[in-house]
Amino acid sequence: MPENTFDLVVIGAGPGGYVCAIRASQLGLKTAIIDKRAELGGTCLNVGCIPSKALLHSSELYYDIAHHAADHGILIEGSRFDVATMMKNKDAVVAKLNSGVKHLITKRNITLFQGTATLKNSSTVAVLNTEGKEQIFIAKKIVIATGSVPSAIPSLPFDGVSIVSSDQAIAFTEIPKRLVVVGGGAIGLELGSVWGRLGSQVTVVEFLPQIAPSCDADIAKLLARALKKQGVTCETGTGVTGYKKTSDGLEVYAKQGDKELTFKADKILVAVGRRPFTESLGLENVGIKTDDKGRIPVDHHYKTSADNIYAIGDVIQGVMLAHKAEDEGVAVAEILAGKAGHVNYNAIPGVIYTQPEVATVGIGEDSAKKQGFAVNIGKFALSANGRAIASDATDGIAKVIACAKTDRILGVQIMASNASEIIGAAVTHMEYCGSSEDLARTVTAHPTLSEALKEAALAVEKRAIHAL
Ligand code: NAI
């Protein structure tokens, strides 16, 4: 095969793209991967999931030292916070993983190229490198995995300094005294918590009647209460109408029903969702038309309307989550290698990494009822869990939503410290079409927070052991 000809060219080296390239190479496909960033890992590794987790960890440590250490006999006087060191730690975490991903790619003989890719036709990709030089790649198959970028709102246009997206909010050089976050989804709540725990006065302005719209209303309410204790106030049912720069910083104007509200801020983080990124891809050259949300339509095998061209991750329909993109990357590589790649969209966990975390899988009680399911609900409060009491982690609840007719688990929602790990058991049960009975009869180590999930499953049939 000529040097510039490949079985597969992957455009975009985020979790979708690089995982796809690795799986394709494992299956014997000659593979190239192209990304415009110098570093691999896409949004998730460079400006998303990973750096935000490093900041969440730093701010949790600080918050625990400031608020809880003394209860355990740890007396620290004069502790203070240094933002520059926190950022240095975050950058080191990202750099370590950048080089880890690069190692995984190069060790597998995947050709890596930095530049902006444009589709010329259904088997030719032109790549413009940073010096303006164009290189042509010929591909039997092409996978588009170009991800997404933050959505803007007209009343608060990004300026990168005062009105920022998550890209800048993970890199503030000082703690904003007052931070207004527009959007109470995962990004707004996670970054709001980071800066709130460090002392910022944070107001989350959410358009819908509840924050965390992927959760049931009862869980969202509990989460709002927990966040309030950490300096994050949530104003729900509130729409932002505009802003003004004043001598005292910024003023954000909003409407809450008939009430006109003004929030003072030093920074405004707009986190109202993300949109697929398809600019300069040359979709028009191959006849691909995006849908009303800017997504690339694909069939069940991730094939676009163009011959040989496939798409995965944030640029197609479905939740914009790194692990969804990763599993689609594996599935499409397997399909292209003649195997049966598959993703179970009913069992994709979602996590908001606040403290406590909120993790969900499947459908919640609210949407199950809206969809007409007769459901049985089991709930168990973390305040009755021994491990939670021993670890200052009593804020939260586990909730199992089971089909009333078949007992099959339709969904699970957990608000708890480490909910991101606890949810794994629920995902596995759902993957195998498990029932609440299966979950309730699964032996769970004692004492663990996971016992709250087992108790919630028992509560579906009103037989939780540690609840009245
Ligand atoms: P999101 O879609 O999760 O939440 C955006 C929120 O903004 C919604 O609650 C929406 O009602 C609200 N909103 C929209 N327009 C508004 C307006 N004009 N005024 C007030 N509120 C408004 O989006 P987010 O948090 O920006 O995240 C983007 C994507 O990245 C999501 O798909 C999310 O799942 C993903 N992500 C996932 C993370 C995780 O898994 N932990 C972390 C960060 C992002």
Give bridge partners of residue 114 from the DSSP assignment. Answer: 35
Burial class (CB in 10 A: 0-12, 13-18, 19+), 136: exposed
Q: Report residue 6 as tokens.
A: 């490949």
Residues labelled as active-site residues: 446
Q: Which atom of ligand 1 is nearest to the CA of 208?
A: 11
CB 272 within 8 A of CB 205: no
Closest CA to 438 of 403, 468, 466: 403
What pLDDT is recorded for position 1? 85
Q: Which atom of ligand 1 is nearest to the CA of 274?
A: 28
Single pTM value for the model: 0.97
What pLDDT is recorded for position 321? 98
Gap from CA of 349 to ligand 1 centroid (Å): 16
DSSP state of 153: B
Gap from CA of 206 to ligand 1 centroid (Å): 10
CA-nearest residue, atom 23 of ligand 1: 273
Q: What is the dihedral of CA 129, 135, 139, 145, to 10 degrees?
A: 10
Average pLDDT value over all residues in the chain: 97
CA-nearest residue, atom 38 of ligand 1: 186
pLDDT at residue 102 above 90?
yes
pLDDT at residue 352 above 90?
yes
CB 304 within 8 A of CB 297: yes
CA-nearest residue, atom 40 of ligand 1: 351
pLDDT at residue 52 above 90?
yes
CA-nearest residue, atom 36 of ligand 1: 186
Mean pLDDT of the region 326-347: 97
CB 332 within 8 A of CB 314: no
CATH topology agreement for domains 5-150+275-343 and 163-272? yes
- Tens of pLDDT, residues 192-212: 999 999 999 999 999 999 999
What pLDDT is recorded for position 361? 98
- Tens of pLDDT, residues 400-443: 999 999 999 999 999 999 999 999 999 999 999 999 999 999 99
Cβ count near 85 (within 10 Å)? 10
Domain ranges of the chain: 5-150+275-343, 163-272, 348-460
Mean pLDDT of the region 31-39: 97
pLDDT at residue 89 above 90?
yes
Mutational pocket test of ligand 1: of 53, 163, 166, 207, the residue with most ligand atoms within 8 Å of the beta carbon: 207
Handedness of CA 362, 368, 373, 374 (dihedral sign): positive
What pLDDT is recorded for position 397? 98
pLDDT at residue 245 above 90?
yes
Burial class (CB in 10 A: 0-12, 13-18, 19+), 156: buried
Question: For 348-460, CATH number?
Answer: 3.30.390.30
CB 112 within 8 A of CB 102: yes
Output the ligand 1 site: residues, CB below 6 A: 153, 182-188, 190, 205-208, 213, 239-240, 271-274, 319-321, 350-353
Pick the CATH number of 5-150+275-343 from 3.30.70.2190, 1.10.3720.10, 3.40.50.620, 3.50.50.60: 3.50.50.60
343/330 Cα distance (integer angstroms): 9
Q: Which atom of ligand 1 is nearest to the CA of 271?
A: 26
pLDDT at residue 332 above 90?
yes
Gap from CA of 451 to ligand 1 centroid (Å): 30
Mean pLDDT of the region 251-257: 97
Q: What are phi and psi of 210, to 5 degrees?
A: -140, 155
CB 16 within 8 A of CB 328: yes
Task: Tell me which architecture the domain covering 163-272 has in CATH.
Answer: 3-Layer(bba) Sandwich (3.50)
What pLDDT is recorded for position 296? 98
Written as one string, the DSSP assignment of 391-436 is: TT----EEEEEEETTT-BEEEEEEEETTHHHHHHHHHHHHHTT-BH
Gap from CA of 236 to ligand 1 centroid (Å): 14
Gap from CA of 107 to ligand 1 centroid (Å): 36
